[in-house]
Amino acid sequence: MEQNSVTHDERVKKAKLMKVFIAFAAGMAGLLFGLDIGVISGALPFITTHFDLSSRLQEWVVSTMMLGAALGAISTGWISFKLGRKKSLMAGATLFVLGSLGSACAPNVIVLLVSRVLLGFAVGIASYVAPLYLSEMSEKEDRGKLISMYQMMVTIGILVAFISDTIFSYGGHWRLMLGVISIPALLLMISVFGLPDSPRWLASKGMISKAKDILRMLSTTDEKADNELSEINESLKVKQEGWGLFKANKNVRRAVYLGMLLQAMQQFTGMNVILYYAPQIFKHAGFANTEQQMIATVICGATNVLATLIAMKTVDKSGRKPILKIGFAGIALGTFLLGVCLYMINAGFDALWISIVAVIMTLFTIASFAMSAGPVVWILCSEIQPLKSRDFGVACSTTTNWGCNMIIGATFLTLINHFGIAATFWIYTTLNILFVVLTILFIPETKGVSLEKIEQNLMAGKKLKDIGE
């Protein structure tokens, strides 16, 4: 009896350690995702001077990464289906190292652009594989928390990039800003070696006994692991896979469209516009010199990180759907009041309190996103796709994320020129109100439900909003 309980304790400890390692490695992928999103804003002015870039080329330096990410996400669907999550992560880590070193050492703008596409490819792979891998490696009770933790690493990456950019900016060291990212990239490469492959992917490739070993390693009892394996086997009975299944099966199509809708909603909240525009709002509020600007960006980055903690704490308890509704409503309110403040400022009301309210609303909007759509959309997208078409479905939703990110970036300045800054934010207000309604109508609650149960409900033709019941 005594012996047994010690063995069990040891097993629980081992399973826990393995999960911490898995979370660390996938978290590194998130960190790199964030670092690469965050780094370019600080480096661009120096790169522009160094290579004497036209504004067209500056846009290219920024957007080649998004383009690479969209391409990376589409092609990883296939790579991850054929080679598995682990090898895909390895490919991503290698590209992160090559892309960071390539852009840091670039002798001319062509090498810089090619390296940015490579980096984008790496970001596309990371944003595709890491949440999917985490969802397949975790137990239903803490799946949400693990993927929120991944999103928190994304936000930490953005924050660290802001800080490191500021530090290196004193000497104008743009090559160091870009090159320093190769260090966490190397760390990711090394840690991926120690990762087990996903049992769900192994089972889908017929490697049942390997899948069983890994499930047992991650579970606290053999019984739990074996039950999970039989549920996985059950979901593999469907004959077709990927694209074929998408064409043939209406329920699979519904899941794919739902994933794409979720990612489009996440991007059209306007979060990236707010992050981009925040320094200007802080400038109005009196944060005028470089040092104050630095404090301002760090405050935004830190708010993003801290609010993600709220999601980590609540997503497996209160559920995905309530926090998504609250989040979209919060962003609607924040962007509305921000628009009002900016309207007043532009109309000549120059009171300090208006600028302060604008700053508070900026932070409120960032926090509303970070505690909801930021993590929850990645969580849901990795949960709702049936196993046999999971790679295809997640590839479609991740590519939608990057595609919409590009659209937002490309239309923002045009919208401001056409409608003015206040009305531009009100457009986002309207969209976020619409997203509250869409969440009520279509988004399922998946808290505490196994991936296999979600799949059964979907394939049985239940309404999308009910597939987690």
352 secondary structure, DSSP code: H
Residue 272 or 293 having the CB closest to ligand BGC = 272
Indicate whether 147 belongs to the interface with ligand BGC (CB under 6 A): no
* Token pair belonging to 421: 């800054």
Handedness of CA 333, 335, 338, 343 (dihedral sign): negative
Residue 37 or 178 having the CB closest to ligand BGC = 37
Please give the C-alpha separations between residue 203 and each of 84, 138, 246, 446, in angstroms, as whole numbers.
Answer: 11, 16, 20, 23
Q: Which of 304, 335, 362, 400 binds ligand BGC (CB under 6 A)?
A: 304
Indicate whether 405 belongs to the interface with ligand BGC (CB under 6 A): yes
221 secondary structure, DSSP code: S
> Are the C-beta atoms of residues 36 and 119 closer than 8 Å to each other?
yes
Q: How far apart are CA 113 and CA 227, in angstroms?
A: 49
Indicate whether 401 belongs to the interface with ligand BGC (CB under 6 A): yes
Indicate whether 115 belongs to the interface with ligand BGC (CB under 6 A): no
- CA triple 81-87-88, angle to 5 deg: 60
Indicate whether 154 belongs to the interface with ligand BGC (CB under 6 A): yes
Size, binding site for ligand BGC by CB under 6 A:
12
Residue 158 or 337 having the CB closest to ligand BGC = 158
Q: Which of 272, 293, 318, 411 binds ligand BGC (CB under 6 A)?
A: 272
> Are the C-beta atoms of residues 114 and 88 closer than 8 Å to each other?
no
3-class DSSP assignment, residue 236: coil
Q: How far is the CB of 308 from ligand BGC (least distance, A)?
A: 8
Handedness of CA 18, 21, 23, 29 (dihedral sign): negative
> Which stretch, 19-27, 240-248, 266-274, 348-356, contacts ligand BGC (CB under 6 A)?
266-274
* Token pair belonging to 94: 């290698």
Indicate whether 374 belongs to the interface with ligand BGC (CB under 6 A): yes
Indicate whether 372 belongs to the interface with ligand BGC (CB under 6 A): no
Indicate whether 37 belongs to the interface with ligand BGC (CB under 6 A): yes
Output the residue with the shortest Cβ distance to ligand BGC.
374
Which residue, chain included where needed, has tokens 């669907």?
Answer: 77
Residue 67 or 154 having the CB closest to ligand BGC = 154
196 secondary structure, DSSP code: P
Q: Which residues bind ligand BGC (CB under 6 A)?
A: 37, 151, 154-155, 158, 266, 271-272, 304, 374, 401, 405
